[in-house]
Structure 1
Amino acid sequence: MTLTGGQLLASLLGVIFLSFMTEQQLQDGGWRIPFVIGGLAAIASLLARSRLEETLSHEDSDKEESGSLKELFKNHWKTFLLVVGYTSAGSLSFYVITVYSKTYLTNIGIDSQTVGLIMTGCIFILMVAQPFFGILSDRIGRRNSMLLFSGLMAIAIYPVMAIGMRAFSDSPMMVALLLIFLMMLLSLYTSISGIVKAEMFPPHVRALGVGFSYAVGNAVFGGSAPSVALQFKSAGIENSFFIYVIVMLVICFFYSLQIPREARYLKDDH
Structure 2
Amino acid sequence: MDYSATPQSAAAAAQPEKRVSHAKAIAAITLGNGLEFFDFTIYSFFATIIGKLFFPVEGQLVQLMLAVGTFGVGFIMRPVGGVILGGYADRAGRKAAMSLTLWLMTLGSAIIAFAPTYAAIGVAAPLLIILARLIQGFALGGEVGASTALLLEYGSDRTRGFYGSWQFVSQGANTVVGSLLGVALASMLSTAALESWGWRVPFVIGMAMGPIGVYIRRHLDETLPGVEDGAASAQGAAATVSSSGSPTTSQPVPNPAGQPASMPARKLFRDHRRSITAGVLTTIGGTAANYIVLFYLSTYAIRILHLPMASALWAAWTGAVVTVICSPFAGRLSDRVGRKPVLWVSRVLLIFAVYPAFMVINATPTVPVLLAVVAGLAVLVTFTAVPNIVMLPELFPRAIRATGMSIVYCLGVSIFGGFAQFFATWLISMTGSNLAPAWYLIGCSVVSLLPLPWMRDMAGKPID
What TM-score comes out, normalization by structure 2 length? 0.54
Which residue pairs with 1:105 in the alignment?
301
Given that 2:287 and 2:413 are in contact with CA atoms closer than 8 Å, whether structure 1 keeps it comes out as yes
Which residue pairs with 1:165 in the alignment?
361
Which residue pairs with 2:291 in the alignment?
95
SS at match of 2:307: coil
Q: Residues 24-46 of structure 1, C-alpha deviation per residue, up to 9 Å, x if partnerless?
A: 11111211111111122233334
The 2-side partners of 1:6 and 1:217 are apart by: 21
User: Alignment partner for residue 453 of structure 2, among 251, 257, 263?
Assistant: 257
Structure 1 residue 199 displacement after superposition: 1.2
The 2-side partners of 1:105 and 1:186 are apart by: 19
User: Alignment partner for residue 403 of structure 2, among 208, 211, 214?
Assistant: 208
2:177 maps to a residue whose letter is L
Given that 1:96 and 1:225 are in contact with CA atoms closer than 8 Å, whether structure 2 keeps it comes out as yes
User: Alignment partner for residue 145 of structure 1, among 342, 359, 381?
Assistant: 342
Given that 1:134 and 1:192 are in contact with CA atoms closer than 8 Å, whether structure 2 keeps it comes out as yes
The 5 Å alignment of 1:1-270 reads: 1-49=169-217, 51-58=219-226, 60-61=236-237, 63=255, 64-66=259-261, 68-106=264-302, 107-161=304-358, 163-170=359-366, 172-235=367-430, 236-263=432-459, 267=462, 269=464
1:73 maps to a residue whose letter is F
SS at match of 1:191: helix
Large movers: runs of 4+ above 6 Å: none
Given that 2:340 and 2:387 are in contact with CA atoms closer than 8 Å, whether structure 1 keeps it comes out as no
1:205 maps to a residue whose letter is I
- The unaligned stretches of length 5 or more in structure 2 are 1-168, 227-234, 238-251
The 2-side partners of 1:177 and 1:19 are apart by: 22
The 2-side partners of 1:23 and 1:92 are apart by: 31
Given that 2:319 and 2:374 are in contact with CA atoms closer than 8 Å, whether structure 1 keeps it comes out as yes
SS at match of 1:52: coil
The 2-side partners of 1:245 and 1:149 are apart by: 14
RMSD of Structure 2 on Structure 1 (CA): 2.1
The 2-side partners of 1:244 and 1:93 are apart by: 9
Structure 1 residue 268 displacement after superposition: 5.6
SS at match of 2:404: helix
SS at match of 2:343: helix
The 1-side partners of 2:413 and 2:448 are apart by: 14
Given that 2:282 and 2:388 are in contact with CA atoms closer than 8 Å, whether structure 1 keeps it comes out as no
The 1-side partners of 2:423 and 2:452 are apart by: 25
Q: Residues 89-136 of structure 1, C-alpha deviation per residue, up to 9 Å, x if partnerless?
A: 211110001110101122213222221234323321221111112122
The 2-side partners of 1:250 and 1:120 are apart by: 27
Identity of aligned residues (%): 25
Q: Against the structure 1 CA distance between its residues 238 and 128, is the aligned structure 2 distance closer, same or farther, given a 3 Å change threshold?
A: same
Q: Against the structure 1 CA distance between its residues 31 and 209, is the aligned structure 2 distance closer, same or farther, given a 3 Å change threshold?
A: same
The 2-side partners of 1:89 and 1:129 are apart by: 18
SS at match of 1:153: helix
2:438 maps to a residue whose letter is F
Moved more, 45-54 or 194-203: 45-54
Which residue pairs with 2:114 in the alignment?
none
Structure 1 residue 242 displacement after superposition: 2.1
Is the radius of gyration larger for structure 1 or structure 2? Answer: 2
Q: Residues 127-152 of structure 1, C-alpha deviation per residue, up to 9 Å, x if partnerless?
A: 11111121221222101122123211
The 1-side partners of 2:265 and 2:283 are apart by: 19
Q: Residues 209-231 of structure 1, C-alpha deviation per residue, up to 9 Å, x if partnerless?
A: 00111111111111111112121
Given that 2:391 and 2:457 are in contact with CA atoms closer than 8 Å, whether structure 1 keeps it comes out as no
Moved more, 145-154 or 58-67: 58-67
Q: Residues 1-27 of structure 1, C-alpha deviation per residue, up to 9 Å, x if partnerless?
A: 111101111111101101211111111
Given that 2:326 and 2:382 are in contact with CA atoms closer than 8 Å, whether structure 1 keeps it comes out as yes
What TM-score comes out, normalization by structure 1 length? 0.90
Given that 1:147 and 1:257 are in contact with CA atoms closer than 8 Å, whether structure 2 keeps it comes out as no
2:322 maps to a residue whose letter is I
- The unaligned stretches of length 5 or more in structure 1 are none
Given that 1:91 and 1:217 are in contact with CA atoms closer than 8 Å, whether structure 2 keeps it comes out as yes
Given that 1:232 and 1:241 are in contact with CA atoms closer than 8 Å, whether structure 2 keeps it comes out as yes
Structure 1 residue 243 displacement after superposition: 1.3
Given that 2:297 and 2:315 are in contact with CA atoms closer than 8 Å, whether structure 1 keeps it comes out as no
Structure 1 residue 239 displacement after superposition: 2.3
Given that 2:331 and 2:387 are in contact with CA atoms closer than 8 Å, whether structure 1 keeps it comes out as yes
Structure 1 residue 158 displacement after superposition: 1.3
Structure 1 residue 48 displacement after superposition: 3.7
